[in-house]
Structure formats: structure tokens, C-alpha cells
Amino acid sequence: APIVFASAKTGYHVQSLLDTVLNVTDMRYLRVPTARLNEVVQDAVRRHNPTVVRSKILKIYYATQAQVNPPTFVFFVNDTQAVHFTYERYLENKLREAFSFKGTAIRLFFKPRPKKELK
């Protein structure tokens, strides 16, 4: 979260504090295009492969933003049990870095990819 040193008594940096609050509020309502989100996720996976959990290798098929305030992202994966908490934190940090989500909560959910129905 951004830190702003201010003084109510002298008014030092009060405007800077208000600007920071407005900026963080704007970031809570930021809608990320799915294509751009998936580019960032693919780049993050290329830079740092997921860890193996219980002999399962995590595959992230795609991600989408489900809602804003707070920004909520849903990742469709092969196995939700294969998501290690450290990799979840890594993805969260990459999203913060790419989309300037400083000072706001981000929620990540991992769901199994929907099965295709055979006809």
C-alpha cells in the first residue's frame, strides 16, 4: 500500500494524501481486458513455471476478471489442488505490477476448466 506522510495540523502533504486515496479508489474499479490479462499471466508462467504439488503440474488455461471493487480474477486450471500458495502470491504480485493495483485488495480464484460435453 502506498505510504504518504502528512500532517493535519500544518497541512503538509494533505493534497498528496487525497490524490493517493483517489488513485487507489480508481484502481479498485479498473477493468482489465481478458486478452491483456492472459498475456500477463502467460508471461508470468513463462518466467516462473508453477511448482509441482502432489505430483501434479499446474496448467493455467486462461484467466478472466470476474468483478471490480475489489478486482477479482478467476483462473481456469487443470487441477485446483495443484495451486501452491506461493505461486498464487506470485501471480498476485505480477498482476499488481502489470496493472498498478497498489493499495487495493486483489482476489484470485482458481476453478477447474469446464469439461466439454461429448455429442
Q: Which residues contact 112 (CB under 8 A, 6 or more apart)?
A: 76, 77, 78, 79, 80
C-alpha cell at position 2: 502506498
Quick one: which of 44, 40, 47, 76 has its CA closest to 61? 76
Alpha-carbon distance of 21 to 54, in angstroms, equals 43
Residue 77, Cβ neighbours under 10 Å: how many? 20
**pLDDT digits over 8-40, tens only?**
888 888 888 888 787 877 778 889 999 999 999
Write down the pTM of the prediction.
Answer: 0.80
Type of residue at 78: N
Comparing 43 with 2, the larger pLDDT belongs to 43
Predicted local distance difference test score (pLDDT) of residue 117: 62
Any idea where the domains of the chain sit in the sequence? 30-112
CATH class of 30-112: alpha beta
